[in-house]
């Protein structure tokens, strides 16, 4: 990452010198209505595959919007950069860890927390079939939720998630109304 940062800074310096040089002509017309492209989020150094992928996606969008299709040397292409970044920050066994976590995952709290954790884990597993995703999703739910999905005969993960979201989540504490009595 240090090397990439140093190279990015070097490119910024070169770009600034080109931009300020009167001998460089960037075109015959100038526009006062330039589009400001927001800088991508900085990488949080979190070693989760989804965090790395989200960072890479944002960076790629930024570079493409700025007109930079590929990154700088010695990394020649976007795929080279992505591969190097993953090599540095993604755990080498991320998919294996996700399989283990998915195997141990059980709904113990709210439905929304379970859905969030489940979808995070399956994002890190590249080759899981849709049938297996549905099986693991339903198998790890609380019994009453799984029975309801079986009763509805859900056949795919998206339908199962939508159905689960529609159920009343009895694990969430209900708001308690406090009644203040007037003393007489």
pLDDT score of 67 more than 60: yes
106 Cα distance to chain centroid? 22
pLDDT at 178: 46
81 and 137: one domain? no
pLDDT tens digits for range 114-123: 999 999 898 8
Number of compact structural domains in the chain: 2
70 and 121: one domain? no
pLDDT at 8: 78
80 and 104: one domain? no
Is 184 inside any structural domain?
no
Is 79 inside any structural domain?
yes
pLDDT at 176: 46
Is 66 inside any structural domain?
yes
Report the alpha-carbon distance of residue 95 to residue 126 in Å, rounded. Answer: 8
103 and 137: one domain? yes
* Contact predicate 137/129, CB 8 Å: no
Report the alpha-carbon distance of residue 14 to residue 12 in Å, rounded. Answer: 5
Is 25 inside any structural domain?
no
- Residue 82 belongs to domain spanning: 44-92
What pTM was computed for the model? 0.48
Q: What SS3 class is residue 167?
A: coil
């Amino acid at each position: 990452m240090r090397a990439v940062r140093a190279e990015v800074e070097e490119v910024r310096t070169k770009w600034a010198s080109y931009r300020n040089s009167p001998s460089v002509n960037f075109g015959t017309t100038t526009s006062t209505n330039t589009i400001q492209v927001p800088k991508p989020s900085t990488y949080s150094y979190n070693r989760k595959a989804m965090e790395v992928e989200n960072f890479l996606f944002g960076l790629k969008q930024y570079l493409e919007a700025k007109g930079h299709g590929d990154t700088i040397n010695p990394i020649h292409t976007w795929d080279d950069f992505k591969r190097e970044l993953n090599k540095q920050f993604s755990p080498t066994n991320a998919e294996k860890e996700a399989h283990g976590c998915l195997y141990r995952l059980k709904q113990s709290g709210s439905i929304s927390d379970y859905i969030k954790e489940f979808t995070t884990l399956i994002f890190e597993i590249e080759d899981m079939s849709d049938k297996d995703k549905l099986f693991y999703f339903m198998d790890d739910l609380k019994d009453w939720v799984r029975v309801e999905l079986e009763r509805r005969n859900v056949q795919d993960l998206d339908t199962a998630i939508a159905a689960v979201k529609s159920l009343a989540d009895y694990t969430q504490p209900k708001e308690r109304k406090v009644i203040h009595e007037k003393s007489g």
